[in-house]
Structure 1
Amino acid sequence: MNKNNQIFELYIDYLVTSFSYTTATGLSNLLDGEISHDQITRFLSHKQFSSADLWKNVKKEVREIESDEGVLIFDDTVQEKPYSSENELINWHFDHTVGRSVKGINLLNCIYHSNGASLPVAFKLITKPIQYSDISTRKIKRKSETTKNDDLIEILKACKQNKLKWRYVLADSWFSSIGNMKFIHDKMKKYFLLALKSNRLIALNKEDKLQGRFQRIDSLDWSGTPICGWVKGMDIPVVLHRQIFKNKDSSEGILYLISNDIELDKDAIETIYQKRWKVEVFHKNIKSNTALAKSPAKTIRTQSNHIFMSLLATVKLECLSIKKGLTTFGFKMKLYIKAQKAAIEALHREQASTA
């Protein structure tokens, strides 16, 4: 094994087992200096890891869980890094979970869920290399060269090229554009099950569609069963469903869902879409358990490559947790307890040596 391959494996293990900030010096110290921090930094700088590299490294594990009923789940996450220097990667992104723009990393993930496991099969780091002056504020701002909808389509093309088996694309309303739905139906020949915003326009029959008589989805007379109709901008019939649920604070929430699989009933729609939650769990894992933002890397390449390694560390954590019959957080806690026991034993040995 050459040095870079050795560091590659060690860095993944370092992220899985770490409970705080991860640094090249920290890993070198763990290895008693066998690999210097300079060697680790050079490893993070030597090439730009890509989404294609992710697939090469997870392909074996994905094939083991793959099935025709698998789903592809798309979502992005924003990780704040308020004290890092701004660049193309770390800059201002709108975070819909807090309703404002925050300074940090924006990561688009494609998660494959099948047979009880959820693994990343593609990703896109949202960079903003284009700088421009905002007319109203005259402040310099940044923007991406592509939209997230463009990125979703490119990822779907890659999944097809990789001969990945799947049945549905699941995503929230940020990805339910007409272009995405048409691409999934026409080009991929697959099904989508997406959330819709309440202002989307729907025709309830073919005549209304041809006459341009559309109405907002939140104004429809919902009886509790799905409705067939036509969404404005598309020529295929779709099934629509209004799901009512309880939020954590006991308030009522409403979710509008759309699919081109018109054979789906209420229970099937809700059961399948529930799988979308797996991407939220994945994002929690990569932030809390595999040190997504806990690296002081300075350059765009080393920052990007650290994130790539964090994705692979999450894959390893997921696979180990399943084999042990634990949640990822349960497995991580088990590692923490073992580490703490080892630390206490080391403390007692040090005390004994100085007595």
Structure 2
Amino acid sequence: MSRAKCSDEDYIDFLIATPRAASCCEASRTGPERPDPAAHDAYTRLLHRLEPDPETLWAEVEPLVRRDDGVLILDDSTLDKLYSRKIEPVHRHWSGKHRKVVWGINLISLVWSDGDRCMPVDYRVYDAPVDGLTKNDHFAAMIAGAARRGFRPRAVLFDSRYASLANLKRVRGLGWTFLTRLKSNRRVDLDRGGYRPISKVPIGDGGLVVHMEGSGPLRVFKAVSRDGDVEYWATNDLAMDELGRQALAERCWAVEEYHRALKQCCNVERCQARSARAQRNHIGMAIRAFARLSWSFYATGVSWYEAKAAVVRDAVRAYRARPLHRIPPIA
């Protein structure tokens, strides 16, 4: 059996360096000069040869996180595949970017953050028509995986779509604190007065302890933005105050920043392969590319975007020093 001409590290380096084109052909064209360079077929085989397994990511980031500190944030994002309906994992998903349902691949991420560092520790590709797993099934699997790996986070943060009764009980059962948004029609009980939508409950500035059927007592908060939008939050930490809630809520932005950097700096949306295996491997290696940029940011202070721009900037500088395309001088 012949030796593979390219490795996952080669592909990850390519994803970090390439500005936009993330095809196997472009990976071959931009490979380092050597006697027997990897052709585009070698990269195609790589995407189909590797086993798409989140454990590979965890093996790399495990030394870079503190399992007894920080928070775990779970959220999902839709990777745009607006005109790629022949790609296997592509389905119709809600997109916060487009504010409508679009064709794409839904990526569910579990991110660890201590305020300074942001590191992905687990992920799933939501493909219910094929594997039959719901988003709550993926939530359960990733939370169980985090517990098995020895995480003891200060809190687990997630959006209202994951705030099912089973998920709240699951996090509480591990002895962990959760903070989640609730939909305005979520029913709670105050002073045994009967269950009613949380939007009908008078919640003061310091929050209010209520009872949610099946989950026990919770402290709920009402947050009103400057433009009048109202958010409802709930936690099983009954001693949490509004300042504590705000501090944790701000941490939720880490996963939003992660998804944005994953798309803009790691080309996670730009794989053109059709098979689910190749797409999953591309996504996994794009996430591992982000882990390298994130660690570099923490170690050097150079942001993800600046690190990405520096690669292209060096190429532009080299071209300007020796330009190739000129109009010949007129005699």
Paired letter, 2:79: Q
The DSSP-based 3-state class of the residue aligned with 2:93 is strand
* Residues 88 and 128, structure 1, Cα contact 8 Å, conserved in 2: no
Task: State the partner residue of 1:196.
Answer: 182
Q: Tell me if 1:113 matches 2:113.
A: yes
Q: TM-score, normalised by structure 1?
A: 0.85
Give me the whole-angstrom Cα distance separating, in 2, the residues matched to 1:5 and 1:161: 36
Task: State the partner residue of 1:51.
Answer: 54
- Cα offset for 1:335? 2.8
- Cα offset for 1:172? 1.2
* Residues 28 and 37, structure 1, Cα contact 8 Å, conserved in 2: yes
Paired letter, 1:217: I
Give me the whole-angstrom Cα distance separating, in 2, the residues matched to 1:343 and 1:297: 31
Deviations 1:116-162 (A, max 9, x none): 111111111011435xxxxxxxxxxxxx6011011101111111111
* Residues 81 and 103, structure 1, Cα contact 8 Å, conserved in 2: yes
Give me the whole-angstrom Cα distance separating, in 2, the residues matched to 1:87 and 1:145: 18
Give me the whole-angstrom Cα distance separating, in 2, the residues matched to 1:317 and 1:85: 31
- Cα offset for 1:96? 4.7
Give me the whole-angstrom Cα distance separating, in 2, the residues matched to 1:81 and 1:98: 12
- Cα offset for 1:318? 1.1
* Residues 85 and 103, structure 2, Cα contact 8 Å, conserved in 1: no
Task: State the partner residue of 2:208.
Answer: 227
CA RMSD of aligned residues (A): 2.3
Distance 1:335 1:321, change over 3 A: farther
Task: State the partner residue of 2:243.
Answer: 267
Say which of 186, 192, 196 aligns to 1:215.
196
Task: State the partner residue of 1:160.
Answer: 147
- Cα offset for 1:93? 1.7
The DSSP-based 3-state class of the residue aligned with 2:229 is strand
Task: State the partner residue of 1:328.
Answer: 304
Give me the whole-angstrom Cα distance separating, in 2, the residues matched to 1:67 and 1:154: 18
Paired letter, 1:317: L
* Residues 67 and 115, structure 1, Cα contact 8 Å, conserved in 2: no
Give me the whole-angstrom Cα distance separating, in 2, the residues matched to 1:37 and 1:116: 38
Q: Tell me if 1:338 matches 2:318.
A: no
- Between 1:251-260 and 1:334-343, the stretch displaced more is 334-343
Deviations 1:104-123 (A, max 9, x none): 11100000112511111111
Distance 1:229 1:5, change over 3 A: farther
Give me the whole-angstrom Cα distance separating, in 1, the residues matched to 2:4 and 2:198: 54
Distance 1:343 1:215, change over 3 A: same
* Residues 169 and 193, structure 1, Cα contact 8 Å, conserved in 2: yes
- Between 1:91-100 and 1:290-299, the stretch displaced more is 91-100
| Equivalence map 1:1-355=2 (5 Å) | 7-31=7-31, 32=33, 34-62=37-65, 66=66, 68-130=68-130, 145-186=132-173, 188-205=174-191, 207-208=192-193, 213-234=194-215, 236-246=216-226, 251-347=227-323
Give me the whole-angstrom Cα distance separating, in 1, the residues matched to 2:162 and 2:44: 36
Give me the whole-angstrom Cα distance separating, in 1, the residues matched to 2:298 and 2:140: 31
Number of residue-to-residue matches in the alignment:
326
* Residues 88 and 129, structure 1, Cα contact 8 Å, conserved in 2: no
The DSSP-based 3-state class of the residue aligned with 1:241 is strand
- Cα offset for 1:222? 2.6
- Cα offset for 1:204? 1.9
The DSSP-based 3-state class of the residue aligned with 1:237 is strand
Give me the whole-angstrom Cα distance separating, in 1, the residues matched to 2:25 and 2:306: 28
* Residues 222 and 242, structure 1, Cα contact 8 Å, conserved in 2: yes
Paired letter, 2:266: T
Give me the whole-angstrom Cα distance separating, in 2, the residues matched to 1:56 and 1:3: 24
- Cα offset for 1:339? 2.4
Give me the whole-angstrom Cα distance separating, in 1, the residues matched to 2:132 and 2:45: 29
Give me the whole-angstrom Cα distance separating, in 1, the residues matched to 2:114 and 2:262: 19
Deviations 1:18-50 (A, max 9, x none): 111112221222224622222111111113221
Distance 1:262 1:7, change over 3 A: same
The DSSP-based 3-state class of the residue aligned with 2:170 is helix
Give me the whole-angstrom Cα distance separating, in 1, the residues matched to 2:96 and 2:326: 51
Q: TM-score, normalised by structure 2?
A: 0.91
Unaligned runs of 5+ residues in structure 2 are none
* Residues 292 and 310, structure 1, Cα contact 8 Å, conserved in 2: yes
Identical-pair percentage? 25
* Residues 202 and 229, structure 1, Cα contact 8 Å, conserved in 2: yes
- Cα offset for 1:99? 4.2
* Residues 54 and 121, structure 1, Cα contact 8 Å, conserved in 2: yes
